[in-house]
Amino acid sequence: MQYQAGGTIITCPCCKHTHFDKDYRQLNTRGATFFGLDWTNKEATILICNKCSYILWFMQEPTS
């Protein structure tokens, strides 16, 4: 699927492909992990290139 960020179609910086799979990853911090509070950490959206598998990270979710 194609995604946009800031009104621009996202393109893979490695292979210039424009189709990605979307997933989410937690941004862990040492303090929260130490106290067993990983669930309080922020989450980032990742896009995985369908052609070369390069991963792009976003704090605000790209639109499709």
Mind listing the pLDDT tens digit for each residue in 11-58?
A: 999 999 999 999 998 776 666 566 776 566 578 999 999 999 999 999
Query: CA separation (Å) from 51 to 3, 4, 10, 41?
Result: 15, 18, 14, 30
Which CATH number fits the domain that encloses residue 12?
Answer: 2.20.25
What's the pLDDT at 32?
Answer: 58
What's the pLDDT at 37?
Answer: 66
What's the pLDDT at 40?
Answer: 61
Q: In which domain, by residue range, is 27 found? A: 4-58
Residue type, 15: C
Q: Is 46 exposed, middle or buried (0-12, 13-18, 19+ CB in 10 A)?
A: middle
Domains in the chain, number = 1
20 C-beta neighbours (distance < 10 Å), count: 23
Is residue 8 situated within a structural domain?
Answer: yes
What's the pLDDT at 42?
Answer: 74
